[in-house]
């Protein structure tokens, strides 16, 4: 009981009341105790068990990028609180594809599917795969994968604002040659971040297109792209993911430079553990918990027949300033002089 109380952050007396199904406990607290039972692997007493409302598929691109496990964890726990059993499907290069996972989910008669950063974000992909699911009808929700031709609820981080906030931060530090590293331009998230980046630079009267490097997502892609930008003399780099930012830091160090003394680097996501990198990374934080909860609520409303709005819910990113950004080198020299 002490383990459960500690996990649920309640008293042992409260745990006892819930386990014995006694009154005097709020629904929220009762759910926290039941979730703690599940998380710790304890079997619920028979009287507290409820029939599963059904299976819900959760498809994420991969687990190498820590932002995807972060989304998966919150979505899974929120689905469980609503009585649904989540089925996690993760993709890997050369492995099972998104379409194949969808077929598996349909065979298992899932009640709905949550897609995180799915093919819907790729403007070169065929959106009819999602329209066919909706026509079945099967409720779906897409997280960070907006496509205007799909009639479904979307939950997204405001990528355009993220690009703008990153540039504004670097400009405030005196940077004038600011680069952008992102994935291929066919992705809607890339297009939006670039739009925000360019709009902020135009507002400040600074050049932009000369300092854009599009590459593959990941540490290696970030390192290769940063090499090109550092050759061009940029002093600030905005990256479309934390992993790309780590690659940019690696490139700067390999060239004998230091972050943030010689170049400032900004990431995107605020993935778990990113605050403990060397240096701790300045980044745009996605509000993962709020986005995940909103996605599940939309899906449950769709499943229950209430019909969530078929529009995009945009969530504001938060600039988290740490130690990978500093005053631009030229400004620092002037101050010292």
Is the domain spanning 54-157+287-316 CATH 3.30.499.10? The answer is no
Q: DSSP letter string over 185-213?
A: TTBHHHHHHHHHHHHHHHHHT---GGGEE
CATH number of 2-48: 1.10.260.40
Question: Quick one: the chain helix, strand, coil %, rounded to 5?
Answer: 45, 15, 35
Q: Which of 219, 262, 264 is nearest to 244 (CA)?
A: 219
Query: Which 8-state DSSP code applies to residue 122?
Result: B
With a CB cutoff of 8 Å and minimum separation 6, the contacts of 289 are 74
With a CB cutoff of 8 Å and minimum separation 6, the contacts of 191 are 123, 185
Tell me whether domains 54-157+287-316 and 159-285+320-336 share a fold.
yes
Between CA 153 and CA 311 the distance in angstroms is 5
Domains in the chain: boundaries: 2-48, 54-157+287-316, 159-285+320-336
Q: What is the pTM of this model?
A: 0.82
Could you tell me whether strands 112-116 and 54-60 are parallel, antiparallel, or unpaired per DSSP bridges?
parallel
Neighbours of 8 (CB within 10 A): 22
How is residue 53 written in tokens? 């409302």
Between CA 34 and CA 39 the distance in angstroms is 9
The CATH number of 159-285+320-336, from 3.40.50.1820, 3.40.630.10, 3.40.50.2300, 1.20.1270.30, is 3.40.50.2300
Q: Do you find a cis peptide bond into 260, omega within 30 degrees of 0?
A: yes
With a CB cutoff of 8 Å and minimum separation 6, the contacts of 235 are 175, 176, 177, 178, 262, 263, 264, 328, 329, 330
Q: What is the pLDDT of residue 20?
A: 85
Q: Which of 286, 326, 294, 329 is nearest to 172 (CA)?
A: 326
Could you tell me whether strands 112-116 and 282-285 are parallel, antiparallel, or unpaired per DSSP bridges?
unpaired
Q: What is the pLDDT of residue 337?
A: 39
Q: What is the pLDDT of residue 52?
A: 55
Q: What is the pLDDT of residue 48?
A: 66
Contact 91, 58 (CB under 8 A): no
Q: Which of 13, 47, 8 is nearest to 31 (CA)?
A: 8
Q: pLDDT tens digits, the chain, 337 residues: what are they?
A: 898 999 889 999 999 988 887 888 887 888 888 888 877 878 777 666 654 568 999 999 988 899 999 999 999 999 988 889 899 999 877 788 999 999 999 998 999 999 999 999 999 999 999 999 999 999 999 999 999 999 999 999 999 999 999 999 999 999 999 999 999 999 999 999 999 999 999 999 998 778 999 999 999 999 999 999 999 999 999 999 999 999 999 999 999 999 999 999 999 999 888 999 999 999 999 999 999 999 999 999 999 988 889 999 999 999 999 999 999 997 555 443 3
């Amino acid at each position: 009981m002490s383990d459960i109380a500690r996990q649920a952050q309640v008293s042992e007396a409260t745990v006892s009341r819930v386990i014995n199904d006694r009154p005097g406990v709020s629904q929220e607290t009762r759910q926290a105790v039941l979730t703690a039972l599940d998380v710790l692997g304890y079997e619920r007493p028979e009287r507290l068990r409820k029939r599963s409302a059904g299976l819900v598929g959760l498809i994420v691109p991969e687990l190498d990028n820590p932002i995807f496990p972060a989304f998966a964890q919150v979505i899974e726990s929120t689905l469980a609180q609503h009585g649904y059993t989540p089925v996690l499907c993760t993709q890997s290069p050369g492995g099972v594809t998104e379409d194949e996972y969808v077929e598996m989910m349909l065979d298992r008669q899932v009640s709905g599917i949550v897609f995180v950063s799915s093919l819907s974000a790729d403007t070169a992909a065929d959106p009819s795969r999602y329209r066919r699911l909706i026509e079945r009808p099967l409720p779906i929700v897409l997280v960070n994968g907006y496509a205007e031709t799909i009639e479904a609820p979307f939950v997204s981080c405001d990528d355009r604002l993220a690009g703008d906030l990153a540039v504004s931060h670097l400009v405030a530090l005196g940077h004038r040659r600011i680069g952008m590293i992102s994935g291929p331009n066919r992705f809607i998230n890339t297009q939006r971040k670039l739009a925000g980046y360019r709009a902020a630079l135009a507002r400040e009267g600074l050049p932009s297109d000369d300092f854009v490097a599009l590459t593959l997502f990941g540490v290696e892609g970030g390192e290769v792209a940063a090499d090109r930008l550092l050759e061009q003399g940029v002093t600030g780099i905005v990256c479309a993911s934390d992993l790309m930012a780590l690659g940019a830091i690696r490139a700067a160090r390999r060239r004998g430079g230091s972050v943030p003394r010689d170049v400032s680097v900004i990431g995107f996501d605020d993935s778990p553990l990113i605050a403990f990198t060397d240096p701790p990374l300045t980044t745009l934080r996605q509000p993962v918990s709020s986005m995940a909860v909103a996605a599940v609520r939309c899906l449950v409303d769709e499943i229950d027949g209430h019909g969530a709005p078929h529009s995009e819910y945009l969530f504001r990113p938060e600039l988290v300033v740490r130690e990978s950004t500093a005053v631009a080198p030229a400004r620092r020299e002037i101050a010292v002089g």
